[in-house]
Amino acid sequence: MTNKTTLVFLSLLLYFMISTAAVAQKEHTSTGTFDMMVPRTMTRAEAEIYACDRARDSAVLQVFPQRLTTEMQTWISNGKVSTNAFSTTELIGEWLGDVKEPVISILSQDPFFIRCKVKGKVREKATSGAELSVKTLYCPALSCEIEQFNEGQSLFLRIASSKAGYISVFLDNMDESFQLLPYMKERKAGVNQVFLEQNKAYTFFSKEDAPESQQHLVNELELFAEKPGVELLSLVVLFSEEPFNSPLMEQTEAGTYFDDSEYIGYTMPDAASSAEFNKWLLRLRQTNPGLQAVRKMITVKR
């Protein structure tokens, strides 16, 4: 009798644990809106991306409230006890992807106000994710970290993870998405991701930082803008402790984007439309709850 009762209890406990995990990963459809006055120091493209990112945060908050964490510090000096409290907030939900294109409207011209409305999928954040560090550099040294590049400068990435796992890296110009990692020769050989060891920093797109046996695989990158002015680009770093599939990407030619003869000989990364890439990313995140996506914005000035 005792054994039977214990088995029933364990079965109920297991069912409760599985049900709780399923609820934690339940998806919700949510909408968000954000209005902003565009400062003169910000381009319209930058403002639209910023407004839509904040609208996505608003959509997440519609379903998952912020978590408030308070840390107390107490110390004794000259016989007196002093206490300070530090509070921080964090989103406990995450945006998986748009289900409709963001709608951007102009509210006024002077001052210049815009509004972004978004609709997409959200879910509760996984609490056991890795800590990811992503730095953009114009040379392989850490002292070269920047986010505002000039045309013709090289791009290097320094990535580290607190857990071992797999990464892919993409560059999105809001019209097309280009796959930067794995390197082109690796992808042709059927490699879908790059493996990272735990707590080890890697510098990508640098032959001198690659093992000698892998230097022939490295693609060195230079950044170019299609038009004069400042172009905004989004780096997307995907990480998972388990391997994941890759999107459909097609070969592109430098001549598709640049007419100048100076670009002859340059190779473009494989690409897909931003819309198709984001659809793939939404499906991937829906089927892979452990997948983490880090977006980092950079600019290229021409």
Q: Which residue is associated with the tokens 């020769």?
A: 185
Q: Which residue is associated with the tokens 């002015």?
A: 229
pTM: 0.71
Q: Domain extents for the chain? A: 27-124, 132-301
Locate all alpha helices (DSSP H) within 64-209, ordered by sequence: 184-188
Can you tell me the distance from the alpha carbon of 164 to that of 186, in angstroms, rounded to the nearest whole number? 20
> What confidence score (pLDDT) does residue 81 get?
54
- Which are the contacts of 286, defined by CB distance < 8 A and separation ≥ 6? 27, 96, 121
Encode burial over 128-157: b for 16+ CB neighbours within 10 A, e otherwise: ebbebebbbbbebeeeeeeeebeeebbbbb
List, for residues 232-269, the tens digit of each pLDDT value.
Answer: 888 999 999 999 988 888 877 655 555 555 555 667 78
Can you tell me the distance from the alpha carbon of 145 to that of 228, in angstroms, rounded to the nearest whole number? 24
Which residues in the chain land under pLDDT 50? 1-24, 68-73, 84-88
> What confidence score (pLDDT) does residue 243 get?
93
Both structure tokens of 208? 């001198």
What torsion, rounded to 10 degrees, do the Cα atoms 151, 112, 62, 103 define?
-70
**Which sign, positive or negative, has the C-alpha torsion 207, 264, 174, 186?**
negative
Q: Give the residue among 163, 146, 164 at the shortest CA–CA distance from 155.
A: 146
> What confidence score (pLDDT) does residue 22 get?
38
- Judge whether 107 and 35 are in contact, CB under 8 Å: yes
- Judge whether 207 and 215 are in contact, CB under 8 Å: yes
> What confidence score (pLDDT) does residue 173 get?
85
- Judge whether 59 and 31 are in contact, CB under 8 Å: yes
List, for residues 194-208, the tens digit of each pLDDT value.
Answer: 999 999 999 999 999
> What confidence score (pLDDT) does residue 25 get?
60
Instruction: Using DSSP, state whether 208 is helix, strand or coil.
Output: helix
> What confidence score (pLDDT) does residue 193 get?
93
